[in-house]
A and B are shown apart, each in its own frame.
Chain A
Amino acid sequence: MKRHANRFLIEVDNLSLSYRIAHNQAKSLRETLINFAKRESILTHHTALDGVSFSLSEGETLAVLGRNGAGKSTLLKCLARVLPPTKGRVVTRGVVAPLIELGAGFHPDLTGRENAILYGTILGRSSRVMQTRIDDIAAWSGLGKFIDLPIRTYSSGMLGRLSFAVATDEAPDILMVDEVLSVGDAEFQGRSKARMETIMRESACMVLVTHNLALVRELATRAILIDNGKITASGNPDNVVKKYESSLES
């Protein structure tokens, strides 16, 4: 794929995301009405992301670090255009492929083959092409004859492997990986790392959300640290990792 040189694949400009959240977050209508009657429903504004800015060009891998609830997954959702910004702007250029756990949202009684084709088609690929690619995908994921069994029989490691195999089968322009590489054995992790490096070479970019700091040091070309929705450090992965580690100790 030919591209314009030095073109940003991701541009995030002053991105803020906030939403109202009920204090006791009732999940049922009944509770909500009772809370309302008892004047107990206090709505507060929660700011998940606050003035986040960065841009990413081809060949780069951005690691996003931060504690649980810092806003990392929210950031991925904004990049995947699931959440529109409350303020600021997000621009992405090219095919965005987020890794989705094949569990949630997929049909547990359908086979790995059927769900993988569905996943690929959801990512915007042609279902006919997926039909022809599925055997290679199955082979690469190492699922063997499990590919024709319902996915409810899969372990989480197998789901993760199949998911990764589908998402990276056709190199996307922007690959978003959210903590999925912790699954799988050492052999699979080695292969998936190699595959990600190939994708990087094919001038795409990657956003990596993980707590695996060794992986960050190895793969990332840049890192940002998010705390309470704000970027508190960015730049060289080694420095950001150090800052993150010291923030964990404090």
Chain B
Amino acid sequence: MEDGNLYDSEAQKVGFAPAIKELWERRELIKLLVNRDLSVRYRKSVIGIFWTMLNPLLTTIVLWFVFVELFGGRLPDNQQYAPFVLSGVLVLTFFNQGFSQAADSLTAAYGILSKVYVPPQTFAFSGSISNAVNFLFGCIALFVVSIFTGAGINPLAPIAILFVICMVFYVTGLGLIVSTIYVRFDDARNIVIVLLQLMTYLTPIFYPKTILSEPVRWVVNLNPLTSFLEVFRATFCNTGIATIFDWCYMFASSLLMFFVGIKVFTKKWPSLVAMLS
């Protein structure tokens, strides 16, 4: 017990394994934070859960109308558009809300984190976990839409949980980095939102990659979110093809982002606390 509570400023390790270990040690706090998030979001009611599903469904209808009806767009191989775009919208919402909540949870916890040591990734991780739960509820809607449009569900659909885990780590890492910018600069949000928009358009959410010209397609493939999305579509509802590259790119970028996030945060946070207080 004494060893568990020993702090020696000269023996602090920053790395992947210690960061994971700290998350495990703080699992009760994570559970509490996730519960708090979810009860605020769903107001402890089933209607609350349906309400959060409504947004991606409406977005899907709008995108379907614009892409299929206005532009007369078609997916290759006569694929169904609705499950294609809904899966994209869900993944994008998971990413967007997950990372902004991860970043916001850290800025909101400034009063705590500047007084007592809590592994910072705990807050960011809780933020992404509660969005993962939200995403899983969204998958129910996607399940219904896929069956209804005849696109069907991949029998290997449970493998999509690998995608969820990777996304949680990716979003946690990104949230850690962005929160240090948010704490330092009040107006950084505006720029981050524009960058997010760019990243959104460079992800094949409502268009198939086949309509892109070669240089653009190259850029889109370089976007890690594309690989995340392809893996999810391929494993869950047969509306995409995930190559070995996509799988490797998804795993590598999520681990790297998590690691870099912790490194950056550990390096930047103390000087922010010292400077701002």
Contact = CB atoms under 8 A, between A and B. Distances in A.
Contact of B115 (A29, A80, A110): A80
Interface in A102-134: 103-107, 110, 114, 117-118, 121-123, 126-128
B267 to A, nearest CB: 10
Contact of A173 (B5, B9, B270): B5
Contacts of A191: none
Given A82-B113, A82-B117, A121-B28, A19 B5 contact: no
Interface string A1-32: 00000000000000001011100010111101
B59 to A, nearest CB: 28
A97 B29 CA distance: 16
B212 interface: no
Contacts of A25: 275
B36 A114 contact: yes
A243 interface: no
Contact of A80 (B12, B110, B116): B116
A91 B185 contact: no
B157 to A, nearest CB: 33
Interface string B89-129: 00000000000000000001111111111100000000000
A83 B274 contact: yes
B271 A19 contact: yes
Interface in B55-114: 108-114
In which size bucket is the chain A interface? 35 or more
B133 interface: no
A84 interface: yes
Given A48-B274, A81-B117, A82-B273, A91 B187 contact: no
A109 to B, nearest CB: 8
A83 B114 CA distance: 8
Contacts of A52: none
Interface in B22-74: 28-29, 31-33, 36
Contacts of A220: none
Nearest to B33: A118
B8 interface: yes
Given A80-B115, A82-B113, A92-B7, A126 B28 contact: yes
A57 to B, nearest CB: 14
A103 to B, nearest CB: 7
Interface string A48-87: 1000000000000000000000000110011011111100
Interface of A: 17, 19-21, 25, 27-30, 32, 48, 73-74, 77-78, 80-85, 88-96, 98, 100-101, 103-107, 110, 114, 117-118, 121-123, 126-128, 173
27 contacts: A19-B275, A27-B186, A29-B187, A77-B274, A78-B9, A81-B117, A82-B117, A83-B270, A84-B9, A84-B12, A88-B9, A89-B9, A89-B10, A91-B8, A92-B6, A93-B7, A94-B2, A96-B5, A100-B116, A101-B111, A103-B111, A105-B113, A117-B32, A121-B28, A122-B118, A127-B28, A127-B32
Given A104-B111, A106-B112, 20 more contacts: A19-B275, A20-B271, A21-B275, A29-B188, A48-B274, A77-B277, A80-B116, A82-B115, A82-B270, A84-B9, A84-B270, A85-B9, A90-B8, A92-B7, A93-B2, A98-B116, A100-B115, A105-B111, A105-B112, A127-B31
